[in-house]
Structure 1
Amino acid sequence: MDELRRAVLNVIRKIRSHRELYVKNEEAVKQHLIGEIFQALGWDWNNPEEVRPEERTEDGRADYALILNGGVFAYVEAKNLGVNILKREEPLRQLARYCFNSGVRYGILTNGAMWIAVKAFEEGSRLRDRVLLTVNVEEEPVEKAVLKLSILSKSRIDDIERLSSLLRAMELSFIGLKREGYPEKMLIEYLTSKEGSNTVPVEDLTGDETPKAAYVYDSGWKLLPLPEKSIKGVLLAVLLYMERRAQGYQREEIRKAYEHLRTMPLNPKTALEILRKLEEEEKLRISVEL
């Protein structure tokens, strides 16, 4: 996912710096934006056994054909950035015709920033009902866009219908529970908590506990190695985590604080107070497994 995340961020930077170019020039969109995303998704963009440009169909030429297991799995149709593919119907209908006339089940429409994956045909359904996923890398949170785009990776695309259905079900459930009054933080912790573990947020600790493990939320819950199984050990683990993230003078100051606290006796309740202060000042989320 890290490579895809870097590619998405790079595409966003390119669009912001050269928007006028991509609005006017479809070829630039293909070479600078679409190719970078697909390569990060694991497709060998210059290998005709995986990607074929200008694939002929009965209804015209598709910009690309994605090859999987020796056959065309999906057509990719590119537009310039000036075409709002999320609102205009014709580009999606054009792609669907390419797919239908060639018996290709899936299509991907993109202008570099917006992406639509569609199931090209299904009896008794409308085209928009067959859209499997939509992504807008400029307007959505990066992690959300990366997760959705990952379904188009070479290793996952064969399961595109099931994965997109699971993702949509999760989104609808999350939205529904929020509307019922459940806090977002509670829902995220429910989804990310480990089976069978007794994990408690720092704010709910009393200072009398003996921690088995500590976690910090950083695009998901990350386990922090404990120097010792105590509240002080949790504090030291958090300081080491902060040191790794910091730079320059701030990093040196955190190291000094760590060395100072490591060698001195520290009351558990005092250590807990420091942890809570760090959570508030550094915008951290810390939990402890008991």
Structure 2
Amino acid sequence: MEALMKAVLSVKGKISSHRKLYEKNEEAVKQHLIGEIFLALGWDWNNPEEVRPEERTEDGRADYALILNGSVFAYVEAKNLGVNIVKRDEPLRQLARYCFNSGVKYGILTNGAVWIAVKAFEEGSSLKDRILLVVNLVEESPDRAALKLSFLSKSRITDIERLSSLLKALELSFSGLRREGYSEDVLISYLTSRKGSSTVPVFELTGSETPRAAYVYDNGWKLVPLPEQSMRGVLLAVLLYLAKRYPGRKGEEVMKAYEQVKRIPLAPQTALEALKRLEEEEKLRISVEI
């Protein structure tokens, strides 16, 4: 984070000193601002195995393609600083078309100061609904901007949906508790103190932990009772919760899975992998108190 923080401060300084240049010159934005941020995010900006400029798509050329494991993971579209990419829809729609027609799931739009990450396609959702992240390096504090930008790092970008979802949940919960009269200091103290036990997202678990309780996020965190203090117990609790939540055939299918798991022994690592798949497939967030 230290390198990213330095890059954020550097870019803010360049924009402050040379705004007129960046408002007219897209190439300067690419070279002076965007490249510096991506380098700090761990991308080898001059390595075509990681970053390819002017990537051809059916609808035109994306400014950059970010490559992971030999395949395009995200397109990056750059604009000059004079383009208000928050208020203007077309740049984001252009990026989404590049992604959709190439089967690329994610896109990043930036004018050097503002960064927007978007999921290119999802059935039944609007483009606005699929925005995962908006960062404004000029208007936001450097630490806040750096935290959100870190979701685009080479080591974290594959988890961008999960991370952005967790951050949104944190912001909503924090704001809600503030409205209920709890002070910021009290809430921060609560979040940073760990005495006796802690609640951990399942993607951070190793399988060796002993669960004390389990929670599912569904319009708020909900406790799901554990039939046993094990990863198998967490899996059973989540399956039972889903079986009750879904009506009709899907609920019946989940209940069958619950009964099957209930009858057989299950290694902790196997149960943990099943929980991670459930999170991804059902768009859930599951946390375990250990």
Instruction: Tell me which residue corresponds to 2:194.
Output: 194
Q: Deviations over 1:225-249 (max 9, x none)?
A: xxxxxxxxxxxxxxxxxxxxxxxxx
Match of 2:35 in 1: 35
Output one character per residue of 1:174-208: Cα deviation in whole Å (capped at 9) or x when no partner.
Answer: 111101110011111111113339xxxxxxxxxxx
1:139 and 2:139 matched: yes
1:58 and 2:55 are equivalent in the alignment: no
Paired residue for 1:6? 6
> C-alpha offsets along residues 137-184 of structure 1, whole Å, 9 cap, x if unaligned?
100111111100000000000111111100111011111110111001
Partners of 2:195 and 2:46 lie apart in 1 by 44
Match of 1:172 in 2: 172
Q: CA RMSD in A?
A: 0.9
- Which amino acid in structure 2 is aligned with residue 63 of structure 1? D
- SS of 2:132 mapped into structure 1: strand
CA distance in 1, matches of 2:28, 2:195: 48
Equivalenced residues, count: 197
Map of 1:84 onto structure 2 = 84
- The farther-off stretch of 88-97 and 188-197 is 188-197
Q: TM-score, normalised by structure 2?
A: 0.67
The residue type equivalent to 1:166 in the other structure is L
Residue type of the partner of 2:114?
M
Question: Which amino acid in 2 is paired with 1:2?
Answer: E
SS in 1 for 2:143: helix
SS in structure 2 of the partner of residue 115 of structure 1: strand
User: Equivalent residue of 2:21, what SS?
Assistant: helix
Alpha-carbon separation, structure 2, partners of 1:6 and 1:59: 36
Larger gyration radius, structure 1 or structure 2: 1
Identity among equivalent pairs (%): 80
Ranges in structure 1 where 5+ consecutive residues have no aligned partner: 198-290
- Could you list the runs of 4 or more consecutive aligned residues of structure 1 that deviate by over 6 angstroms after TM superposition? none
Cα distance per residue 1:266-288 (max 9 Å; x no partner): xxxxxxxxxxxxxxxxxxxxxxx
> Secondary structure at the residue paired with 2:63?
strand
- CA shift for structure 1 position 87: 1.1
Give the match for residue 260 of structure 1.
none
The DSSP-based 3-state class of the residue aligned with 1:145 is helix
SS of the residue aligned with 2:195?
A: coil
1:163-242 matched pairs, under 5 angstroms: 163-196=163-196
Instruction: Tell me the equivalent position of 1:224.
Output: none
The match for 1:101 is: 101
Q: TM-score with structure 1 length normalisation?
A: 0.67
Q: Which residue of 2 aligns with 1:117?
A: 117
Q: CA deviation at 1:42?
A: 0.2
- Aligned twin of 1:212: none
Give the whole-Å Cα distance in 1 for the aligned partners of 2:176 and 2:82: 34
Query: Using the alignment, how far apart are the partners of 1:83 and 1:194 within structure 2?
Result: 45
Measured after TM superposition, the shift of residue 106 of structure 1 is 0.2
